[in-house]
Amino acid sequence: MEQYVIKGGTPLKGEVEIGGAKNAALAILAAAIMTEDTVRISNVPDVRDTNVLLGAIQDIGATVTREDKNTVVINGAGIHTYSVDYDYVNKIRASYYLLGSMLGRFKKAEVALPGGCDIGSRPIDLHIKGFKALGAEVDISYGLISAKADRLVGNHIYLDKVSVGATINILMAAVLAEGKTVIDNAAREPHVVDVANFLNSMGADIRGAGTESIRINGVSKLHGTDYSVIPDQIEAGTFLFAGVATGGDVTVKNVIPKHLEATTSKLLETGCKVIEFDDAVRVIAAKPYNQTSVTTLPYPGFPTDMQPQMAVVLALANGVSTVTESIFESRFKYVDELARMGASMQVEGNVAIIKGVDKLTGARVQAPDLRAGAALVIAGLAAEGVTIVDDIHYIQRGYELFHEKLQKLGATIEKTSTDKEIQKFILKVS
Ligand code: UD1
């Protein structure tokens, strides 16, 4: 098992290059098999989740070649099965995007019920509702979801809850359905727009992505394309928040500043300085910075994937803050770990009440999931002394070269895999 060992207390300073958006890439890789032509996708983050999905795509018969670390070339002409193995789906929830993409292209698909980060119950009723509305028969048995149709026909679909996954999955199936589909109360996240742009570059006819009403005119076939994934707003936000929590000055490069507005506006409220450039954002921490209140909401609201990182920032703010989680019910699992580092947080239902403290102190903590894991690393960077974050395989699901990028900003952080290496690090830094 690997861990990050951190000697905290150094303000992070400098510039960091942000990679492609993991959540956009996952949907785009799944959509790439919707044609028998070749598709080239660049700016794909080289992280565990994208690599698992590429494995699943290869396993069903597509060819996957890597031009370089972040560019993949996919050809789905040789797909010979419409069934995705449990091993993949168990590792990443987003393998369920293959349901929408295969249903669209082959009119049949079978995928095991999804796993993923344990951040609360994560139903897929809305995906199923959408597939059924397009004329598919959907069956759940023996731990599998299977969907099939003689033909898919466009329909008007209202999503009872805003769901990124359901919006994208239904969108993919509808692209190759006959006639017009309207998805209302659709998710507006930047990655939904990116998937729609990708599909349009393959010959789809999708309008309104990024609004709550997406209109799709079905086409009979899609063709190859060459496409670059958008920058990762969550990776960018994580580095900015690490800069603030350590009292530093960090610039994230290769970002779309508009996508970061929900997070940077919260930093402005705390008194930090935010400077926007065309494709970069710089944040200079106020010392000390002030409390604020945050509620997670679908885009353009504050992203739930930045909630744990925000809580760490607020754990060191002046005054009492609240963080309300309105998307996933079990997203406060990191609170006990943070408390062990000296944070003062109390959770009541879906609200965390955070009393800012002057300092955190290093401890051995466990990453409970991807974003909470990143938040614990931020806490370690800001804390006095040495922090060891265990279970970093969660963090590796979504952050490419995480500790290397932090090192470039001046952090004292290393990846270790044995007690001996941990002891060596502690001796070196003490
Ligand atoms: C995606 C992101 C995840 C992010 C989340 C919210 C990917 C791979 N993952 O997850 O990182 O935290 O969006 O921004 O892109 N819901 C239902 N029924 C459904 C589907 C969802 O009730 O059929 C509920 C969920 O329980 C949740 C809410 O809708 O409360 C939003 O979930 P959703 O947007 O679907 O999240 P994911 O697509 O799973």
**pLDDT at 140 (0 to 100):** 87
pLDDT tens-digit series, residues 291-322: 999 999 999 999 999 999 999 999 999 999 99
Whether residue 406 has pLDDT greater than 70? yes
**pLDDT at 120 (0 to 100):** 55
Whether residue 395 has pLDDT greater than 80? yes
For residue 394, name the pLDDT band (cuts at 50, 70, 90): very high
* Residue nearest to ligand 1 atom 33, measured at CA: 163
**Residue 163 CA to ligand 1 centre (angstroms):** 5
**pLDDT at 366 (0 to 100):** 97
**pTM (2 decimals)?**
0.97
**pLDDT at 91 (0 to 100):** 83
pLDDT tens-digit series, residues 31-69: 999 999 999 999 999 999 999 999 999 999 999 999 999
Catalytic residue positions, numbered: 117
pLDDT tens-digit series, residues 221-268: 999 999 999 999 999 999 999 999 999 999 999 999 999 999 999 999
* Residue nearest to ligand 1 atom 26, measured at CA: 122
Residue of 88, 161, 170, 195 best suited for mutating to test ligand 1, as the one with most atoms within 8 Å of CB: 161
Percent of the chain topping pLDDT 70: 98
The chain-wide mean pLDDT, for the chain, equals: 96
**pLDDT at 74 (0 to 100):** 98
pLDDT tens-digit series, residues 198-217: 999 999 999 999 999 999 99
3-19+231-429 and 22-228 in the same fold: yes
Residue of 122, 233, 304 best suited for mutating to test ligand 1, as the one with most atoms within 8 Å of CB: 122
Closest of 303, 408, 415, 293 to residue 354, by C-alpha: 293
Measured from the Cα of 127, ligand 1's closest atom is 23
Whether residue 192 has pLDDT greater than 70? yes
For residue 176, name the pLDDT band (cuts at 50, 70, 90): very high
Domain coordinates in residue numbering, the chain: 3-19+231-429, 22-228
**pLDDT at 92 (0 to 100):** 86
Domain 3-19+231-429: state its class: alpha beta
* Residue nearest to ligand 1 atom 12, measured at CA: 305
Per-residue HEC secondary structure of the chain comes to CCEEEEECCCCCEEEEECCECHHHHHHHHHHHHHCCCEEEEECCCCCHHHHHHHHHHHHCCCEEEEEECCEEEEECCCCCCCEECHHHHHHCHHHHHHHHHHHHHHCEEEEECCCCCCCCCCCCHHHHHHHHHCCCEEEEECCEEEEECCCCECCEEECCCCCHHHHHHHHHHHHCCECEEEEECCCCCHHHHHHHHHHHHCCCEEECECECEEEEECCCCCCCEEEECCECHHHHHHHHHHHHHCCCEEEEECCCHHHHHHHHHHHHHCCCEEEECCCEEEEECCCCCECCEEEECCCCCECHHHHHHHHHHHHCCECEEEEECCCCCCCCCCHHHHHHCCCEEEEECCEEEEECCCCCECCEEECCCHHHHHHHHHHHHHCECEEEEECCCCHHHCCCCHHHHHHHCCCEEEEECCHHHHHHHHHHHC
**pLDDT at 190 (0 to 100):** 97
pLDDT tens-digit series, residues 87-108: 888 888 888 999 999 999 999 9
* Residue nearest to ligand 1 atom 35, measured at CA: 163
d(CA 388, CA 277): 35
Residue of 327, 371, 399 best suited for mutating to test ligand 1, as the one with most atoms within 8 Å of CB: 327
Task: Give residues (CB < 6 A) around ligand 1.
Answer: 23, 26, 94, 122-127, 161, 163-166, 187, 304-305, 327-328
pLDDT tens-digit series, residues 110-135: 998 765 445 556 788 999 999 999 99
Measured from the Cα of 126, ligand 1's closest atom is 23
Whether residue 385 has pLDDT greater than 70? yes
Q: What is the mean pLDDT of residues 382-405?
A: 97
**Residue 164 CA to ligand 1 centre (angstroms):** 6
**pLDDT at 115 (0 to 100):** 56
Domain 22-228: state its class: alpha beta
* Residue nearest to ligand 1 atom 30, measured at CA: 327
pLDDT tens-digit series, residues 132-166: 999 999 998 887 899 999 999 999 999 999 999 99
